[in-house]
Structure 1
Amino acid sequence: MAANTRKSPKDLRSARWFGPDDLRSFGHRSRMMQLGYAEEDFRDRPVIGILNTWSELNSCHGHFRERAQDVKRGVLQAGGFPVELPSLSVDESFTKPTSMLYRNMLAMETEEMIRSHPLDGVVLMGGCDKTTPGLVMGALTAGVPMIYLPAGPMLRGHYAGRILGSGSDAWKYWDERRAGNISDDEWLGIQGGIARSVGTCMTMGTASTMTAITDAMGLTLPGASSIPAADAGHQRMSAECGRRIVDMVWTDLTPDRIVTAGAVRNAAIIAMATGCSTNAVVHLIAMARRAGVDFTLDDLDELGRTTPLIANVRPSGKDYLMEDFFYAGGLRALMKQMEARLDTSCLTVTGKTMGENLEGAVVYNDDVIRPLSNPVYHEGSLALLRGNLCPDGAVIKPAACDPKFHVHEGPALVFDSYPEMKKAIDDENLEVTPDHVLVLRNAGPQGGPGMPEWGMLPIPKALIKQGHRDMLRISDARMSGTSYGACVLHVAPEAYIGGPLALLRTGDIVRMDLPARRLDMLVDEAEIARRREARVPPEPRFARGWGWMFSQHVTQADKGCDFDYLERGFGPAAGEPDIF
């Protein structure tokens, strides 16, 4: 569609369902009237799908019932017709073994719901970790105009005069609890004070990372990702999403015009500058591949070497939380600081360029959002490692670990399962030193199954009691974006499918050299070959259902853990149904 050209009502996608004088369209119109609508409610108007990931088991989205009404108000104000469709919630807190097992299910559901229903455009309501990439991946493939509505972070946690950050302080105080330094009453108080409103984790965890990435990609209203869930501004933003998507439909502003190579690079730069979650690696690569953008681990590492971390927000920062980030100017202000490094010509959902959206953005607290001359950390949030333990890559978050581990050599202490590891680290008689390298394997995309957030292995109790709070840990799992420490994650290929991590043995010397971006086991190649020959593959995790399909088709971490048959290069999309 040519620039500045507006659709007419007959050009609407929904007109194919409601417009023709035939039996099928008669049925469609009749069923809408059954719902209490007159023809003038839905004919010749953009039909806007509101894909709502609300659930009573998703506290991050506890406000989405009300926010959907705000979106509907905006759609109606702009002359559209809103319809709310419930979507898979993929909550982070309660889903076992991991919500990552179901990200691709949400992506498939999103794509197919859009394709199979009379929707001209969609508002995607998400925020909890996997909902953002899942919704965006599906909508990118479906190809209709879309706008993302982020849930927003919860308010700061509080207990006994202390400010608490969800996730990050849970790990911190749990170690103190294990050391015997926190009473039952204190533990109960922390439990009740660490998450005290609706919204996502208020640290720069995976939820805030992914909504910031989507914001920087141009898929949200400018700065929408920073607004706290409980703030009245969040309601106003929701209504504006409803108004904006209607105009996007009339101008045919589809996601392929927004999610370009430049937009993906912008998103990666901003992720690094915010101190992003390690999970950003898996999700950003998957989103880029859905958009047909060639973006790899090496691209991320290149940007990580040159992008300063300027958001002083936990866990990579030391002092502040997302509410403080919002008051300091939010993501627009941070992006303004990074403007010279961004492709500001990229188009956004506003119909304007990224540069136009950043006009007037101001930093109000330069300790929360640092100037480039005074970063929290001189490089970005993430680094890519390669070596004989991870030939296809592994990821570490240098700013969130003790610098003494940036170059480290020590004996491996290997665990083949999470229960085995958990039992061992709680044994106060475990023979372990601070120089040991804890290794958890068989926890990747297929081995986990689903690549659970087990990668921040707990410090052994014996070391906790000696005062140690960090050590080098390696896993083919992920870790929560609120986690921290010297944790090497996403080892690819994973141990379960025969990656080199499967061949490591307790007592082998492991060496990490972060400046050189290396991770190796110091075992000669002949011995590694002997171990590979003797390896017995594990039994399949699933014999049926979703888990079986997941195991058959999930790609490895370096490819984004999407399904091979859903990626852009696998084949053309089915397109809009033409049988009516």
Structure 2
Amino acid sequence: MSANQSATTSDYDLDIPIPASASGLRQGLTSYGDAHFSLFLRKVFIKALGYSEDALSRPIIGIVNTYSSFNPCHANIPQLIEAVKRGVQLNGGLAIDFPTISLHESFASPTSMFLRNLMSMDTEEMIRAQPCDAVVLIGGCDKTTPAQLMGGISANKPIVHLVTGPMMPGSYKGARIGACTDCRNNWAKFRAGTIDVEDISAINDELAPTVTKTKVSSNRTLNNILKAGTCGVMGTASTMACILVALGMMPFKGATAPAVSSARQRIAEESGKLAVDAAATRRVPQALLSRESFLNAMTVLQAIGGSTNAVVHLMAIIGRHPTVAGTIDLSTFDDIGRRTPLLVDLKPSGKNYMTDFHNSGGMLALLHALKPLLYLDVMTVSGKSLGEEIDSAPYARVPRSSPTNCLHSLADPLYPASSLVVLRGNLAPGGAVMKASASKDRTLLQHSGRAVVFANSADLAARIDDPELDVDADSVLVLQNIGPVGNPGMPEAGLIPIPRKLSEKGVEDMLRLSDGRMSGTAGGTIVLHISPESSNPDSVLGVVQNGDMIECDVEKRLLHLRVSDEEIEQRIASRKLKLEATVTASATQTRGYRGLYMRTVNQAQQGADFDFLTAAGPT
């Protein structure tokens, strides 16, 4: 009797129980009351796809497919899936892809952040429900990778991350441009009247330029395969990709290789191999990731001048880990920032693009530079320590004098320390976040000014360009009610536009405050994630009034409303009962996912996750 026949016979031997710890096709059987019948029926339907008994006896590697025609950042996923399958099957596994939610920043209303937790639930439950020995998580656009890691940690099966990769820059009038820092910079110029409608229209064509045409059949049919990739600057997508490498969940080159490159396909194949190896040794994320792993991630975040979004994502990810949750808070980010310089010269903190970072040696070169600041004994998904991985990877140092090198050294940083800072004070007792290195006017890092308050996004849209708006260049723009609950979804509306009457006079930056978020591709002197958010009855942000004096001092980490404690208490008391009744009624009477979100989302300093999804469970 052959090995395959023996395996088949044992599957149908009613005297041999199927253990709860079974792997491959025998794990997580559907509940029919008869485990052997469950396996028999599972084989009936999987064989409908043409699989042999030999194929079905191998480790099963799931491949998460987040392709969507609404998601150009993920347009190369069909090709990546094929490369991952090749890597899996060359190394003795059986690759089976399955879909989950796909999120894109520009196509999700009201904001993709509103759906991040839903995607994490989808990812967790599909990993848990289906018979996978390991999973390759393919994603890219901003909220995708954090959602996948949140779900992957909670499901706690072996996972390997594969991002779609950054897009290439375009060109306009001889200058390189790329999504999405240049989207925002040029839109600001258009608002200010320094470029016209013909310019902005032509620029629109060049900001996401990457596309290829591939012949897909023999009947002369050509299929346009959009391979734009993610934003080609140090926005949230690129930041999270670098953080995945720092956490040891992805190969070094996986963060920076362009979406259209052959290297991206080879990385996908390598990811398939890694997944088979991780399945064989049961390298699960809760065992791999430690507190020191996340400290490394924060060090990399500061060194790359990464997105402020990464702070809220990392707090949500940490909150899913049973032993790390509670050991790290916003102060940890700030402590690490004080000893970590900015080394990567990329927009919005610098001037270059992800292709330049890749050509400078990418994450491997950065980790070599950061070795004195890293915990090198933490484990990676390869089974080696981070230090072993760094030392064993082929590495050719790019000379600092090379025009393509955008990587600085610890001795010669782009910014001395604290690219991202955490501010506190009576205006933000729960903390607030700022990317200080992206400030366009460094004098604003120590500034006091008169508040110009907008009650919500609609109020902002209605009044920001009003010629009669009482505002000057020293004013502090304050936007309320765009926090996790207040919007809901915590949109990327924190980049409050410069009022047109000021931008037309050449004002390019102002101190701006909100309880919302800002795209990682954006720059400016902007305070975000103020907590508690303004919709909270106890929020000081919620009672700021026009004309109040606000002080921001980055060196002192201070964000202060210059109003007496007695006056603040009176303002809070006067709005509290009404606001509590309104918020409670809104949350309890709202149906569906929106209602679930409003009732259970926690605050920004906790990651804006749902309380019942955290490792600690519901409060």
TM-score (norm 1): 0.94
1:444 alignment partner in structure 2: 483
2:4 alignment partner in structure 1: none
Which range moves more in the overlay, 102-111 or 180-189?
180-189
Q: Which residue among 575, 596, 601 is the counterpart of 1:549?
A: 596
Q: Deviations over 1:118-147 (max 9, x none)?
A: 111100001100001000110111111110
Opposite residue 284 of structure 1, the aligned amino acid is: L
2:173 alignment partner in structure 1: 160
2:373 alignment partner in structure 1: 341
What is the Cα-based RMSD across aligned positions, in Å? 1.8
Equivalent pair of 1:17/1:28 in contact (CA under 8 Å): no
Q: What secondary structure, in the 3-state scheme, does the structure 2 residue paired with 1:411 have?
A: strand
CA distance in 2, matches of 1:118, 1:243: 18
Q: Which residue among 221, 226, 229 is the counterpart of 2:251?
A: 221
Distance 1:561 1:467, change over 3 A: same
Equivalent pair of 1:166/1:201 in contact (CA under 8 Å): yes
Unmatched runs of 5 consecutive residues or more in structure 1: 1-7, 572-580
1:361 lines up with 2:395 in the alignment: yes
Q: What secondary structure, in the 3-state scheme, does the structure 2 residue paired with 1:243 have?
A: helix
Q: Deviations over 1:377-405 (max 9, x none)?
A: 00132100001111000001111112101
1:5-44 matched pairs, under 5 angstroms: 11-16=22-27, 22-42=36-56, 44=57
1:476-555 matched pairs, under 5 angstroms: 476-498=515-537, 499-535=539-575, 536-537=578-579, 538-539=582-583, 540=586, 543-555=590-602
Equivalent pair of 1:363/1:369 in contact (CA under 8 Å): no
1:181-260 matched pairs, under 5 angstroms: 181-197=194-210, 198-260=228-290
Q: What secondary structure, in the 3-state scheme, does the structure 2 residue paired with 1:488 have?
A: strand
Q: Deviations over 1:450-474 (max 9, x none)?
A: 1000001000001001100000000
2:69 alignment partner in structure 1: 56
1:575 alignment partner in structure 2: none
CA distance in 2, matches of 1:150, 1:419: 35
Unmatched runs of 5 consecutive residues or more in structure 2: 1-18, 211-227
Q: Deviations over 1:509-558 (max 9, x none)?
A: 11111111010110011111111111031452671000100111111000
2:14 alignment partner in structure 1: none
CA distance in 1, matches of 2:194, 2:331: 43
Equivalent pair of 1:204/1:277 in contact (CA under 8 Å): yes
1:131 alignment partner in structure 2: 144
Q: Aligned-pair distance for 1:273?
A: 0.1
Opposite residue 368 of structure 2, the aligned amino acid is: K
Q: Aligned-pair distance for 1:21?
A: 7.6
CA distance in 2, matches of 1:370, 1:335: 12
1:453 alignment partner in structure 2: 492
2:161 alignment partner in structure 1: 148
1:321 lines up with 2:366 in the alignment: no
Which range moves more in the overlay, 220-229 or 54-63?
220-229
2:86 alignment partner in structure 1: 73
Stretches of 4+ moved more than 3 A in 1?
16-21, 360-363
Which range moves more in the overlay, 83-92 or 469-478?
83-92
Equivalent pair of 1:18/1:29 in contact (CA under 8 Å): no
CA distance in 2, matches of 1:251, 1:525: 58
Q: Aligned-pair distance for 1:165?
A: 2.9
Q: Deviations over 1:234-276 (max 9, x none)?
A: 0011011112211111111111222111111101100100000
Equivalent pair of 2:253/2:267 in contact (CA under 8 Å): no
CA distance in 2, matches of 1:514, 1:497: 25
CA distance in 2, matches of 1:162, 1:24: 62
2:293 alignment partner in structure 1: 263
Q: Which residue among 283, 299, 306 is the counterpart of 2:339?
A: 306
Opposite residue 605 of structure 2, the aligned amino acid is: D
Q: Aligned-pair distance for 1:207?
A: 0.4
Equivalent pair of 1:165/1:314 in contact (CA under 8 Å): no
CA distance in 1, matches of 2:601, 2:193: 42
Q: Aligned-pair distance for 1:339?
A: 0.6
CA distance in 2, matches of 1:362, 1:438: 47
Equivalent pair of 2:342/2:415 in contact (CA under 8 Å): yes
Identity, % of aligned pairs? Answer: 39
CA distance in 1, matches of 2:189, 2:146: 34
1:339-488 matched pairs, under 5 angstroms: 339-359=371-391, 360-366=394-400, 367-401=405-439, 402-488=441-527
2:9 alignment partner in structure 1: none
TM-score (norm 2): 0.89
Q: Aligned-pair distance for 1:423?
A: 2.1
